[in-house]
């Protein structure tokens, strides 16, 4: 005879069996999904807060300024979109982006897509930090400048190429950090960088940078019994083919149009303008054909570099024909080359001076009030364009929009963004501090592991499987770090500093800082 306790245990066991065998309540999956969603939201709550605020600010911007904000370059982009042909000053990548959206006849849609791309940059940064083992708070913190900086939001609302370029470059960096790298992902990386190069020519040096990084990855990933050359070619060949074929195709289109080799026809002109910040013809002693480009004023009394390209009083602009003819560009390039060879230290000093403008605590007006004003949310409707190319571009813009393109300012939304821009921006000094975090973290990590440089290299299969041993962890933040510095250095070296040229480097600097701090933890011993 069984006891009462045994009968109770049997009933409980039978109840559990019947519960498992019984059909589930259809509400159970919904409740489970809700619980999972709540748990996911708790884990990523800080990023969701930042992302939500960034989305709200962009909605307020689109309500306050319709259909879009205009920059002098905007009209040229539209002309190229409506009449496809290579431009002498800017590659046509952004114009083809406009062309893809032309069927909707809405610049408001264009800037909305750009705002979405800005938000996706934040998502890519956050996901990459988490994939590399960083904590959610670090990923959320890395996203704050790109999602909440008022100047970043204003740049997204301008009809210029920088938002698309930033999206492509950040996408390339995040793709390069995925493990393991395969020939297919290397080819995809090449295509993304090709698109970035055809959007802004500053992307061209990045192809060389990433080729070297893939070379290093291939060498580290080669097994002891495999030929290093084969391991390297496995990634670098598909990358270079995918990156250079589109660029070569565009160069062929450019040559067929202008009978000139290159992606643009203004490299010599812009470099000439850069060197006019220091060029001294008494030191250079140029031949007569170059002497016509000299400026007798001392460098301290000269205007900003861009004035030597667009101002009618520039020695270059006074030459016969348009500024960007093959002959004028070649002449300007020869002058710039002679100036750099004759005054290399002055060139370096000028480049560092321009670079230093990226790291100022305040935001001084530069290069002139007109250009600076385009980066501020306007209080009144901007005046119509005055230059002839912009007037032609305005006609094409009206055809694109199928209506007027005059900016309409709606309060109180516009006023909210103006007030927000007065207080919410990343100072240049803060960007410098962010860029100093990775080397500082590396130094701390080296102190924690003083024998790291003498440790034996991990087996090759560990490198291929997850790529997380200590040396490659350093190069992970190094990808973003080197790319950020390249974006900051190329404009001052070839043209001049501009506030919008510095913004694409900010998300990569933040990503490098977040990853370097994670890699500096003492438990990351590989």
Predicted confidence (pLDDT) per residue in 395-417, tens digit: 889 999 998 888 999 999 999 99
Omega within 30 of 0 (cis) for the link into 257 = no
Q: What is the CB-side half-sphere exposure of residue 395 using CA atoms within 13 A?
A: 6
What predicted TM-score, i.e. pTM, was given to this entire model?
Answer: 0.86
pLDDT tens readout for residues 27-76: 567 776 777 777 777 888 899 999 999 999 999 999 999 999 999 889 99
What is the widest separation between alpha-carbon atoms in the chain? 121
Query: Who contacts 477 (Cβ-Cβ below 8 Å, separation ≥6)?
Result: 438, 511, 512, 513, 515, 516, 519
Query: Taking 60 as the threshold, does the pLDDT of residue 446 lie above it?
Result: yes
Per-residue pLDDT at 23: 52
End-to-end Cα, the chain, rounded Å: 63
Omega within 30 of 0 (cis) for the link into 261 = no
SS3 content of the chain, % helix, strand, coil (to 5): 70, 0, 30
Distance (Å, whole) CA 167 – CA 392: 29
Among 24-38, 72-86, 358-372, the range scoring the smallest mean pLDDT is 24-38
Inter-residue contact 84 to 99 (CB < 8 Å): yes
Distance (Å, whole) CA 173 – CA 242: 16
Distance (Å, whole) CA 98 – CA 114: 11
What are the structure tokens assigned to 180, written together?
A: 């393991």
pLDDT tens readout for residues 154-170: 999 999 999 999 999 99
Higher pLDDT, 287 or 517: 287
pLDDT tens readout for residues 456-509: 444 444 434 343 334 433 457 888 999 999 999 999 999 889 999 999 999 999
Query: Who contacts 415 (Cβ-Cβ below 8 Å, separation ≥6)?
Result: 64
Omega within 30 of 0 (cis) for the link into 180 = yes
């Amino acid at each position: 005879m069984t006891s009462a306790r045994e009968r109770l245990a049997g009933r409980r066991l039978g109840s559990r069996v019947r519960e498992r065998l019984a059909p589930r309540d259809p509400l159970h999956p919904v409740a489970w999904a809700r619980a999972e969603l709540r748990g996911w939201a708790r884990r990523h709550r800080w990023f969701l807060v930042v992302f939500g605020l960034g989305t709200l600010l962009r909605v307020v911007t689109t309500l306050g300024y319709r259909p879009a904000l205009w920059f002098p370059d905007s009209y040229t982009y539209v002309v190229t979109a409506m009449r496809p042909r290579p431009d002498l000053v800017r590659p046509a990548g952004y114009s083809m982006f406009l062309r893809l959206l032309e069927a909707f006849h809405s610049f408001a849609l264009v800037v909305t897509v750009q705002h979405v791309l800005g938000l996706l940059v934040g998502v890519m940064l956050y996901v990459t930090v988490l994939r590399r083992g960083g904590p959610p708070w670090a990923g959320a913190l890395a996203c704050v400048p790109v999602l909440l900086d008022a100047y970043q939001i204003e740049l997204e609302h301008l009809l210029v190429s920088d938002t698309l370029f930033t999206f492509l470059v950040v996408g390339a960096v995040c793709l390069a950090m995925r493990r393991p790298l395969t020939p297919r992902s290397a080819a995809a990386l090449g295509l993304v960088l090709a698109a970035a190069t055809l959007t802004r020519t500053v992307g061209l040096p990045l192809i060389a940078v990433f080729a070297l990084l893939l070379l290093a990855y291939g060498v580290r990933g080669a097994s002891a019994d495999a030929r290093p050359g084969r391991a390297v070619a496995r990634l670098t060949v598909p990358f270079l083919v995918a990156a250079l074929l589109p660029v070569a195709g565009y160069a062929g289109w450019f040559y067929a149009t202008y009978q000139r080799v290159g992606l643009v026809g203004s490299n010599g002109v812009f470099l000439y303008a850069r060197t006019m910040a220091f060029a001294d013809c008494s030191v250079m002693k140029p031949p007569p054909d170059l002497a016509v480009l000299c400026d007798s004023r001392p460098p301290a009394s000269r205007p900003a570099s861009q004035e030597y390209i667009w101002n009618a009083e520039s020695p270059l602009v006074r030459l016969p024909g348009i500024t960007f003819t093959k002959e004028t560009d070649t002449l300007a390039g020869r002058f710039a080359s002679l100036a750099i060879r004759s005054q290399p230290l002055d060139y370096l000093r000028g480049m560092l001076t321009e670079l230093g403008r990226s790291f100022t605590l305040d935001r001084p007006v530069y290069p002139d009030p007109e250009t600076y004003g385009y980066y501020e949310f306007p209080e009144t409707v901007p005046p119509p364009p005055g230059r002839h190319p912009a007037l032609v571009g305005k006609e094409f813009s009206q055809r694109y929009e199928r209506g007027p393109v005059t900016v309409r300012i709606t309060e109180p939304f516009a006023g909210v963004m103006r007030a927000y821009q007065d207080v919410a921006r990343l100072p240049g000094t803060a960007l410098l501090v962010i860029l100093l975090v990775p080397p500082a973290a590396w130094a701390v990590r080296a102190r924690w592991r003083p024998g790291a440089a003498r440790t034996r290299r991990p087996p090759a299969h560990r490198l291929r499987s997850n790529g997380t041993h200590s040396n490659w962890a350093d190069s992970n933040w190094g990808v973003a770090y080197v790319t950020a510095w390249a974006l900051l250095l190329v404009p001052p070296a070839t043209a001049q500093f501009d506030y919008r040229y510095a913004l694409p480097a900010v998300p990569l600097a933040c990503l490098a800082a977040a990853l370097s701090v994670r890699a500096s933890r003492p438990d990351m011993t590989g």
